[in-house]
Amino acid sequence: MHNKTLKELSDLLHAKKISATELASLFLARIEASDLNAFLHVDKGLTLQQAANADKRLAAGDATVLTGIPIAHKDIFVTRDWRSTAASKMLENYVSPFDATVVEQFNQAGTVTLGKLNCDEFAMGSSNENSYFGAVKNPWDKTAIPGGSSGGSAAAIAACLTPAATATDTGGSIRQPAALCGVTGIKPTYGRVSRYGMIAFASSLDQGGPIAKTAEDCGLLLNAMCGFDPRDSTSIERETEDFTRNLHQPLQGLRIGIPKEYFGEGLAADVEQAVRAALQEFEKLGATLVDISLPKTELSIPTYYVIAPAEASSNLSRFDGVRYGYRANDYKDLADMYRKTRSEGFGDEVKRRILVGAYVLSHGYYDAYYVQAQKIRRLIAQDFQQVLSGPDKQCDVIMGPVAPTVAWDLGSKADDPVANYLADIFTLSTSLAGLPGMSVPCGFGQGEKNSKRPVGLQIIGNYFDEARLLNVAHQYQQVTDWHQRKPAGI
């Protein structure tokens, strides 16, 4: 039962072949037996109460496609009953008085919350090693990182601890962990999913999205997640749509852009081989490959690591020990309390980004760094528009690798933060442009000691083109079985 997709479980629930309570109990037992450190807070009583309520809705015929489906939330979305820690000592015991909009939407749909998922502290990282509560292990190889910052979400799906999970993507934090754990994830267009109740990292980049086993499952989850929210000033007012409406549309005539910048120096041979094999499958499905160029790709890393830390330094100024969260025990005055609280409450990576952000926003450096980075960000977005739209449109979607390598070993890059930053080279530009992008499993590469580690194919579309991306991914998953592969023992 735990191997089934969200869609399959929904069909069983509506056919009364299993109850929401039975399903929740099954996954709670799997979570309890797991040693991946994917979950930060589980409350069996709360979960089973939600399951009982879902069973009542199913019995009364008042159910949605998601009613009774177990789901887990990345611990960056605040929740009324479960702790909301952002994987930080600063919020170690914090319980929110309200639910994030995303959590509200899933509650209204009748999903059953299994708990809160581990992540990099305040969503800052590419390996999930920055969590105050310890690193998450990759189910495919427990000596490897699961990717980040949504590593708990991706690992929990891969290990069948939950059929669905929420996640967030600031610079690739849905796509990269999905790729490294062999599952499917999608980052929608910026503004599609409300950020209200999402603990902020970089406000102009943060975007919620789902991780699941299949593209079809991600579409069903997006149907619940997306929608205008007046409480979020960046939320886009747009008519609701069914993201699964085009899943079965054939790909005959689809033009796939292949950026030369995504296949150059630094891309591991085993990753390139898996991605190239996936592209051949699309040709068999009737698509045409088109060589394109995204010349500003190499500028995405310095641009992102100016803009994101700048916004983080502003957003995280609220964590000062005064109103909520951790407070230092021993201090002389208010200024000393601020210093000690933030020094003790934040981890090294968070402090590193706050310092960088404060520097680039400081007097004399704002124009030289932050303003220039925003100008380059616009040029990066223009690169995409030149190939995806207008009279000279070259392609319908763009494809390439999600990450330059398979998952690396836990601790292997702990002393080199820049090496972690470079792992985001293929995902950052999409986030800077605000475009939708997703990752689908497309093969395996070799890890240490010849271990098998997943490779993800990245699919990027134009603004509000999520339905097309899901169609493209779904058609690929109908002729391949990479998304059905499971780690040993699962």
Catalytic annotation, residues: 74, 149, 173
Contact status, residue 473 vs residue 217, Cβ threshold 8 Å: no
Contact status, residue 152 vs residue 117, Cβ threshold 8 Å: yes
Inter-CA distances, 476 with 105, 146, 213, 291, 330, Å: 29, 24, 13, 20, 58
The 10 Å Cβ neighbour count of residue 332 is: 8
292, amino acid identity: I
Instruction: Write the DSSP string, 253-273.
Output: T-EEEEEGGGGSTT--HHHHH
Q: Which residues contact 357 (CB under 8 A, 6 or more apart)?
A: 308, 309, 310, 311, 312, 313, 314
Q: Of how many residues is the chain composed?
A: 490
417, amino acid identity: P
The 10 Å Cβ neighbour count of residue 15 is: 8
- Cβ density class 413-441: b for 16+ within 10 Å, e for less: beeebeebbbbbbbbbbbbbbbbbbbbbb
Strands 452-460 and 397-401: antiparallel
- Cβ density class 276-288: b for 16+ within 10 Å, e for less: eebbeebeebebe
- Residue from 138, 141, 440 nearest 275 by CA: 440
Tell me which residue has tokens 């591991």.
Answer: 268
Helix (H) or strand (E) holding 384: helix 372-388
Tell me which residue has tokens 């000690």.
Answer: 340
Contact status, residue 66 vs residue 106, Cβ threshold 8 Å: yes
Q: How far apart are CA 167 and CA 279, in angstroms?
A: 27
